[in-house]
Amino acid sequence: MRSSFESCELTILMPCLNEAETIEVCVRKAQGFLQSRGVRGEVVIADNGSVDGSQALAERCGARVVPIPRRGYGAALMGGVKAARGTYIVMGDADDSYDFSALDPFLEKLREGYELVMGNRFLGGIKPRAMPPLHRYLGNPVLTGIGRLFFNSPSGDFHCGLRGFRRDSILALGLTSSGMEFASEMVVKATLQRLRIAEVPTTLSPDGRSRPPHLRSWRDGWRHLRFLLLFSPVWLFFFPGLILLLLGAVGMVWLLPEPRSAGSINFDVNTLVYTAAAIVCGFQAIAFYLFAKTYAIRSGLLPRDALVTRLNEVLRLEVGLMAGGIAVAIGLALAAYAVGFWQIRSFGHLDPTQSLRIVVPSVTLLILGMQIMFSSCMLSILQLDAPPPYAPETERVPTLEPSGHITLAKR
C-alpha cells in the first residue's frame, strides 16, 4: 500500500456496518487480487459506526479503515471515495456476496478509458438464495426499467453493488444521497453527464452473514423510485400534464355544442366540469416541469437542455403576461355574455345544461390566464442571476498609536 495518490492505481472500497462475520474474507480476497495481478492499490473500509469489532479485523488483514460518522450506505461510500488514494475505485459490499478476487473485467474496462463500469448480476448469474424473489423478479427489473426509460441509461442492473469508476469523474458528479438510493444517483448522474459507461457480467452469491441485511425492501425501493421521479421532471410533470391537458381540451371541445353519448353512457355538463379541471391541472403540471427543470439546470443538478433553454427564451415575461392577459380578456367576455344570457331570463332560474356551457369555458380561461401570468413571473424569477453574497463593510474602530495619534483600524 502506498501513501500518495500518484503511486496507487486501484482502491477496493467496501462500506461496512457490523460485518465482523465476513469482513476478513472480503479483505483477504481483495488483497489477494492486488498482489496476484501486480496492481498498485489499497483496500479501504468505510466504516459507518460498527460496534462488533469489524474495524480491528479489517486492519489486521491489511485494510485501511476510514471512520464515516454520517450514517447511511451512500454517506459511507462517498466518505470512502473522498478518502481513497486510487485513480480507480472498485466498490462492493463487505458481506462476501461479491468475489473481490475476480475484479479483472472491471479494471480492464477502467484502463480502456471507461469512467463507470457497472456489474450486471442478471448477465453473470444469481446463485440460489443470493437474491430474494421480490428483488429478483420485481424490484430490480422494474426500477432498472424505469431508470433506462427515464434517462436512456445503458445499465441493465441499476442496483448492482459491485461497480468500478474513475475517482475524479465520480467526485465531479456531486453525489449527495446518503441512503441506498446512492446506487441509482450514481448511474443517473453519470448517464446525464455523458460519462463513458460499460457493463460486465457479475456473479452474486449468498452473503455470509447470519443476521438480516441492512436493506429494507419496500422502504429502500420507494427511495429509489422517488429519486428517479424527482430527477426526471419530464416524466414526473410534463408527460402527465400534457396528457391531462390534451384530454381535457378534446373533451371540452366535444361537449361544448351539446350533450354526447357513447353507447348507453351519456356525457353532459358534469363531465364538462371535469374536463376543465383536467385542463387546469395539466397546465399546472407543465408549468411545474419548467420550474423544476430551470431550477435544476441553474443549480447544476441536471445538464443544460436545448428545449428548455429555447422555451425560456421564447416564453419571456412579456410574452407570458400578454398571453395570460388575452386569456383573461376572453374569459371576461364570456362572463359578460353569461350575465347577458342571465339577464334575458330576468335573472331568474337557468338551465344548467345551457348556462354551464358558457360559464365553464369562461372560468377555465380566467384561471388559465392568471396561471400563465403568475407562471411567467415565477419562471423569470428562477432565471435571475444570483448576486454575490453580501459582504458588510469591515467595522473600523479608533486605535491609539504609539505616537499618540488616533487612527481608524479594521476589526
pLDDT number for residue 381: 86
pLDDT in tens, 54-93: 999 999 999 999 999 999 999 999 999 999 999 999 999 9
> For the chain, what is the domain count?
2
C-alpha cell at 37: 495481478
Burial class (CB in 10 A: 0-12, 13-18, 19+), 169: middle
Q: What share of the chain has pLDDT > 70, as a percent?
A: 91
Task: Report which of 88, 78, 90, 180 is spatially closest to residue 135, judged by C-alpha positions.
Answer: 180
Question: For residue 26, what is the domain's CATH number?
Answer: 3.90.550.10
Per-residue pLDDT, 383: 81
Rounded to whole angstroms, how far apart are CA atoms 394 and 411?
A: 7
Tell me the CA distances in angstroms from 279 to 32, 130, 181, 353, 358, one per residue in order.
63, 49, 34, 20, 16
Q: At what angle do helices 269-298 and 306-314 cross, to 10 degrees?
A: 110
User: Are 69 and 173 contained in the same domain?
Assistant: yes
What average pLDDT does this structure show over 359-387?
88
Longest dimension (CA), the chain: 104
- Rounded mean pLDDT of 362-381? 93
On whether both 82 and 107 belong to a single domain, the answer is yes
Q: Do 269 and 294 belong together in one domain?
A: yes
Nearest to 383 by CA among 300, 294, 267: 294
Around 215, how many Cα atoms within 13 Å sit in the side-chain half-sphere? 19
* pLDDT band (50, 70, 90) for residue 4: very low
Same domain? For 206 and 122 the reply is yes
Query: 135: Cβ–Cβ under 8 A, 6 or more apart, which residues?
Result: 217
Does residue 388 lie in a domain region? no
The predicted pLDDT at position 271 comes to: 95
Instruction: Identify the CA nearest to 102 among candidates 88, 90, 113.
Output: 90
List the grid coordinates of 213.
441485511
Residue 380 in 3-state DSSP? helix
Q: Which residue has the cell 385542463?
A: 279
pLDDT digits (tens, 9 = 90+) for 173-193: 989 888 888 989 999 999 999
Final residue belonging to a domain, choices 230, 248, 283: 230
Mark whether 179 and 38 lie in a shared domain. yes
The HSE-up count of residue 312 (CA atoms within 13 Å, CB side) is 22
Domain that holds residue 81: 10-230
Q: Smallest Cα–Cα separation from 209: which of 355, 80, 17?
A: 17
pLDDT at residue 98, as a whole number? 95
Helix (H), strand (E) at residue 325:
helix 317-344
> How much is the pLDDT for 222?
84
pLDDT for 313 equals 74
The last residue of one of the domains, among 230, 246, 275, is: 230
3 state SS of 161: coil
Question: In this model, does residue 394 exceed pLDDT 70?
Answer: no
At 328, list the grid cell: 383573461
* Residue 401 included in any domain: no
- What pLDDT does 402 receive? 52
pLDDT digits (tens, 9 = 90+) for 227-240: 888 888 899 999 99
Q: Is residue 392 part of a domain?
A: no
Query: Strands 41-47 and 10-16: what pairing?
Result: parallel
Q: Are 1 and 64 in contact (CB under 8 A)?
A: yes
Asked if the structure places residue 402 within a domain, the reply is no
**204 and 350 in one domain?**
no
CA-wise closest residue to 364 among 336, 327, 323: 327
Q: Do 191 and 245 share a domain, yes or no?
A: no
Same domain as 184, residue 64: yes
Q: Are 221 and 90 part of one and the same domain? A: yes
Examine the domain organization and report whether 220 and 237 are in the same domain.
no
Task: Evaluate whether residue 390 is within a structural domain.
Answer: no
Alpha helices (H) in 193-316, listed in sequence order: 217-230, 233, 239-255, 269-298, 306-314
Four-CA torsion 44, 177, 197, 66, nearest 10 degrees: -10
H or E segment to which residue 372 belongs: helix 352-382
238 lies in the same domain as 252: yes
Residue 351 carries which DSSP code?
Answer: -
- 182 vs 179: CA distance, rounded Å: 6
Q: Indicate the pTM of the whole model.
A: 0.75
Indicate the residue among 201, 230, 259 that finishes a domain: 230
State the average pLDDT over residues 133-143. Answer: 87
- Give residue-wise pLDDT tens across range 12-64: 999 999 999 999 999 999 999 999 999 999 999 999 999 999 999 999 999 99
Q: List the grid coordinates of 400.
A: 491609539
Which residue matches cell numbers 474513475?
166
Place of cell 426509460: 149
Given a cut of 60, is residue 250 above it in pLDDT?
A: yes
Do 210 and 239 share a domain, yes or no? no
Whole-number pLDDT of residue 196: 96
Question: Which residues have CB under 8 Å from 378's CB, separation 6+?
Answer: 287, 291
CB 100 within 8 A of CB 30: yes
Where would I find the beta strands (DSSP E) of 231-390?
A: 260-262, 265-267
β-strand partners of 88: 10, 166
